[in-house]
Amino acid sequence: MRAAVIFGLGTSPANLDPFRANSATEWIEGVPASSSDADAILIFGGDGTIHRHLPALVRLGLPVLVVPAGSGNDFARALKLRSTRDSLRAWRSFESGKVRAQEIDLGVITPAATPNRTHYFCCVAGCGLDSAAARRANQMPRWLRGHGGYALALLPALAKFPAFSMRLTRFHSEKSEEVEKPTLLAAFANTQFYGDGMRIAPQADLADGKLDICWINRLNPFKLFCMFPTVYFGRHLLMPGVEYSQAERVRVETERPLDIYADGEFVCETPVEIGVAAGALRVIAPPH
């Protein structure tokens, strides 16, 4: 077997040592030029590293193993890979033929300004309060981002982020529905987690071909502060002002252009369409 290895920021070939031990696999560093160059890909890094390589991973169609080693590891968390040991165990099972790669969905963002240029995401895309927090977190030192940086960036924004008017059109097969209302946060989820463990979309399924939408309307700062810790457990869905739904795709329009972030990275500005690429990525992970 031949495996290509991608090292994200803060990782090095030394991270590969546990995988090399007692393995007959031939290791190749970097993204393979074609699918014939490797049989699988290992990525040492976090959500940002995976996000940047998604176009190549989709094009190659190779099984991908994520080894959580970034400042945010929500995609690995969604795949039940919470440590290097979990990833090593999954890799050994894949090497021995005990498990096969699973096909999972990816999110797809299409900006209205550049409809021919799409952007994949693995976890969650959003606009509003969470985009403001992601922008602030990305300006922090990497060590701080990996130790609660997103939460630290979000807390100051809870008190002063203004609500904005958002028109959301949800598409379900042949039907569509359009709603417009004051908004603080809109999250469009492929996985349950973002922001380093926040369970923003507790009902999200990686293989159902749908987006899960968490839409937080205008709330006063006190209620926002009360809601904040509940997001880690998915209990924010019980609070007034929080709407949760699913759709095959959505159109997002705002009164002025607002940033869209996905997997913690800036992607584009509204208006956009966000949908799902069903079964677009093959992953090596414990059975769900």
Residue 137 confidence (pLDDT) above 80: no
Determine the pLDDT at residue 147. Answer: 61
Residues 215, 244: Cα–Cα separation, whole Å: 6
How do residues 141-188 score in pLDDT, each as one tens digit? 766 666 666 677 777 777 678 889 999 999 988 789 999 999 999 999
244 confidence band (pLDDT: 50, 70, 90): very high
Residue 285 confidence (pLDDT) above 80: yes
How do residues 87-136 score in pLDDT, each as one tens digit? 999 999 999 999 999 999 999 999 999 999 999 999 999 999 888 888 87
Domain 106-278 class, CATH top level: mainly beta
- In this chain, the answer to whether the domains covering 2-105 and 106-278 adopt an identical fold is no
Domain spans in the chain, listed from the N-terminal domain onward: 2-105, 106-278
Mean pLDDT of 238-260: 95
Rounded to two decimals, the pTM is 0.92
Domain 2-105 class, CATH top level: alpha beta
How confident is the prediction for the chain on average, in pLDDT?
91
